[in-house]
C-alpha cells in the first residue's frame, strides 16, 4: 500500500524551452534534478537540438524522455537552423515563426500524454492557455535571474519605446538599484526586444508568459536576490518560486574525457590560482575588433591564460586571432578551439579568475568554485547580469565606451591584473569565495528543488 501511494505521488512534468542552448541547458539541468527525485520528465524540442544536448547520466535516462517535434518549414530558414546558435540575426526572426508553428503538435502531445505540469519558456507564451484548456497546470520557468525579470516586467510593455527607457531604473522598482542596460548593450538588442517576431515582440512574449502562467519559477535563490524575488511576487500577484542556481551535474562522455586530459596536463604545469580562464559560452560572438583587442589584452597582461575559443566553421563571418598571437604567447597561454568541460577547468587549482560574457550558466559555474569574475558582455540579458554582479562586488566589468561598446587591449590587461593580483581587486576574490557558500552549497540548492516539487505535488 505504501509503495502504491509513493507511486501515485510521482509527477509527470513536460518541459518546453526556447530554441537556444542557453535556455535548453538550464531546463535540462532542472530536468535531471527533478528526475533524481523519481519524477518523469518529457523534454520537448526539435530533433537536431536534442541530438546536441549533453548526454544523460545512465541512471537518469529511463526518467527523462526526449520528445522530438520537427521544426515546421519556414521560407528562407535553412533546414539546419533549429537553434539560435545556427542562425544569423535575421534568421532568428524566422526561427520564432517556425517555433510558433509547433503550437499544434505540442498541444496534441499534451492532450495525449496529460502531464501533471508544463514548464514553458517565454517564447512559448501561447502555450499556457492551451495547457489550461486541457486541465494542465503551467509554470513559466525563467532562465533569466529575478533581477532581469523584474527589470523587464511591465503591465504595459508598450510603455518603453526608446533605448533610453531601458537605461534607467524602471518606475516599478521601489528600491535603489543600478540594474539597467548601458547604451551599447540595449542598442545591440533593442530591435530584437521590441520588434514584432511573427506578431509578438520578445518583450511582449515575456510579459505574457508571466501573466498567463499559474506560477513563475526562477533560476535564483532567496539569499542572492531577495528584493527582486519579492518584487516579482508584488508585480504579478502569483507564486514566484526560486528553483536554485542549477549548478551542472558532473558527467563526461569518452570524447570529453580525452579532451580534458590534454587540457589538464597543461593546467598541471601552471602555478596555483595563476591562470586566467577565458570563455564566452556557446552563442556569444565577438566581432573581429573585439576579439583582436581581447587577444592583445591577454598578451599585454603577461598572465597565464587558457582560452576556449568557439569559432565555428559554419559561421558566415568567422573571426581570426591576431597574426603571431599564439606563437608569441605559447609559453604561457593555450588556445583550444571548440567545446571543453568548463566545470572541470574552473575546478582546477591553477585557475584564478574567469573572463566571461556574464551568461548566467557560466557565472554559476564560476561562483560555486570561488572563481573571481572579469566581465565583458556581448548580448541579450548579459548587461543586466553584469550590473547585478557589479553591484554586489562579485564581478569586475571591463571599462568600455558607453556608446559603441568599444574597449582597448589596455583596459583588458589592467582589468585582469587588478582582479588577479592587485590589492584593490581583493574584494572580488573575497566575494567569489563568499558566494561559493551559496552557489556551491549542493544541499541548499537541493532544498530549492524540493520546495519547488513540493508546490507542484500539492497544486497539480
Q: Are residues 287 and 428 in the same domain?
A: yes
Measured in whole angstroms, the distance separating CA 135 from the mean position of its chain's CA atoms is 31
Q: Are residues 447 and 426 in the same domain?
A: no
User: What pLDDT was estimated at residue 318?
Assistant: 75
Q: Are residues 225 and 286 in the same domain?
A: no
Q: How far is it between the farthest Cα atoms of the chain?
A: 71
- CA distances 245 to 42, 101, 169, 178, 453, Å, are 21, 31, 25, 22, 15
Q: Are residues 158 and 288 in the same domain?
A: no
What is the count of structural domains for the chain? 2
Q: Are residues 365 and 288 in the same domain?
A: yes
Spell out the residues 6+ positions from residue 273 whose beta carbon is closer than 8 angstroms to its own: 349, 350, 351, 352
User: What pLDDT was estimated at residue 169?
Assistant: 94
User: What pLDDT was estimated at residue 254?
Assistant: 53
Q: For 131-184, what is each residue's pLDDT tens digit?
A: 999 999 999 999 999 999 999 987 666 678 899 999 999 999 999 999 999 999
User: What pLDDT was estimated at residue 450?
Assistant: 96
Q: Are residues 238 and 344 in the same domain?
A: no
Helical spans, DSSP H, in 143-221: 146-152, 183-194, 202-212
Q: Are residues 420 and 377 in the same domain?
A: yes
Q: What is the CATH number of the domain that holds 265?
A: 3.40.50.2000
Q: For 303-345, what is each residue's pLDDT tens digit?
A: 999 999 986 444 556 789 999 999 999 999 999 988 788 889 9
- What are the grid coordinates assigned to 76, written together? 528562407
At residue 215, the 3 state secondary structure works out as: strand
Q: Are residues 61 and 204 in the same domain?
A: yes
One DSSP character per residue, 41-86 reads EEEEE-HHHHHHSPPPPTTTGGGEEEEE-PPPP-TT--TT--SGGG
Low-confidence ranges of the chain (pLDDT < 50): 1-5, 312-314
Q: Are residues 454 and 404 in the same domain?
A: no
Q: Are residues 454 and 394 in the same domain?
A: no
Assess contact for 119 and 141: CB atoms under 8 A.
yes
The whole-angstrom separation of Cα 245 and Cα 142 is 11
Q: Are residues 82 and 167 in the same domain?
A: yes
At residue 334, the 3 state secondary structure works out as: strand
Q: Are residues 46 and 88 in the same domain?
A: yes
The whole-angstrom separation of Cα 104 and Cα 202 is 21
Owning domain of residue 215: 2-247+442-458
- What are the grid coordinates assigned to 122, written together? 517565454
Amino acid at each position: 500500500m505504501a509503495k502504491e501511494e509513493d507511486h501515485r505521488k510521482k509527477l509527470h512534468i513536460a518541459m518546453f524551452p526556447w530554441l537556444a542552448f542557453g535556455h535548453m541547458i538550464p531546463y535540462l539541468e532542472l530536468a535531471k534534478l527533478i528526475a533524481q527525485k523519481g519524477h518523469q520528465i518529457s523534454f520537448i524540442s526539435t530533433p537536431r537540438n536534442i541530438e546536441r544536448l549533453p548526454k544523460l547520466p545512465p541512471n537518469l535516462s529511463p526518467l527523462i524522455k526526449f520528445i522530438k517535434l520537427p521544426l515546421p518549414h519556414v521560407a528562407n530558414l535553412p533546414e539546419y537552423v533549429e537553434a539560435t546558435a545556427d542562425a544569423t540575426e535575421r534568421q532568428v526572426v524566422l526561427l520564432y515563426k517556425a517555433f510558433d508553428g509547433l503550437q499544434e503538435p505540442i498541444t496534441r502531445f499534451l492532450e495525449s500524454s496529460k502531464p501533471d505540469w508544463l514548464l514553458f519558456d517565454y517564447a512559448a507564451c501561447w502555450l499556457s492557455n492551451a495547457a489550461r484548456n486541457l486541465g494542465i497546470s503551467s509554470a513559466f520557468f525563467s532562465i533569466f535571474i529575478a533581477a532581469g525579470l523584474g527589470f523587464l516586467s511591465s503591465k504595459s510593455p508598450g510603455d518603453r519605446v526608446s533605448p533610453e527607457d531601458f537605461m534607467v531604473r524602471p518606475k516599478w522598482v521601489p528600491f535603489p538599484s543600478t540594474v539597467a542596460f548601458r547604451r551599447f548593450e540595449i542598442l545591440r538588442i533593442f530591435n530584437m526586444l521590441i520588434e514584432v517576431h511573427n506578431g509578438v515582440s520578445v518583450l511582449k512574449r515575456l510579459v505574457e508568459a508571466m501573466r498567463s502562467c499559474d506560477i513563475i519559477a526562477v533560476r535564483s535563490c532567496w539569499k542572492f536576490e531577495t528584493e527582486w524575488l519579492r518584487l516579482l511576487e508584488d508585480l504579478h500577484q502569483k507564486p514566484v518560486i526560486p528553483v536554485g542556481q542549477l549548478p551542472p551535474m558532473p558527467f563526461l562522455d569518452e570524447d570529453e574525457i580525452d579532451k580534458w586530459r590534454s587540457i589538464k596536463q597543461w593546467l598541471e604545469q601552471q602555478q596555483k590560482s595563476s591562470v586566467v580562464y577565458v570563455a564566452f559560452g556557446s552563442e556569444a560572438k565577438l566581432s573581429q575588433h573585439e576579439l583582436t583587442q581581447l587577444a592583445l589584452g591577454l598578451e599585454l597582461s603577461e598572465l597565464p591564460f587558457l582560452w576556449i575559443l568557439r569559432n565555428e566553421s559554419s559561421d558566415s563571418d568567422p573571426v581570426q586571432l591576431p597574426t603571431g598571437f599564439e606563437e608569441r604567447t605559447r609559453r604561457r597561454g593555450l588556445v583550444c578551439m571548440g567545446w571543453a568541460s568548463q566545470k572541470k577547468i574552473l575546478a582546477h587549482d591553477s585557475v584564478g579568475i574567469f573572463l566571461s560574457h556574464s551568461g548566467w550558466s557560466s557565472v554559476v559555474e564560476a561562483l560555486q568554485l570561488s572563481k573571481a569574475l572579469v566581465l565583458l558582455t556581448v548580448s541579450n540579458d548579459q548587461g543586466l547580469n553584469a550590473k547585478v554582479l557589479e553591484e554586489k562586488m562579485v564581478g569586475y566589468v571591463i571599462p568600455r565606451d558607453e556608446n559603441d561598446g568599444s574597449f582597448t587591449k589596455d583596459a583588458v590587461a589592467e582589468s585582469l591584473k587588478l582582479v588577479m593580483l592587485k590589492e584593490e581587486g581583493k574584494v572580488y576574490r573575497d566575494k567569489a569565495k563568499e558566494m561559493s557558500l551559496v552557489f556551491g552549497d549542493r544541499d541548499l540548492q537541493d532544498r530549492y528543488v524540493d520546495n519547488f516539487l513540493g508546490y507542484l505535488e500539492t497544486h497539480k
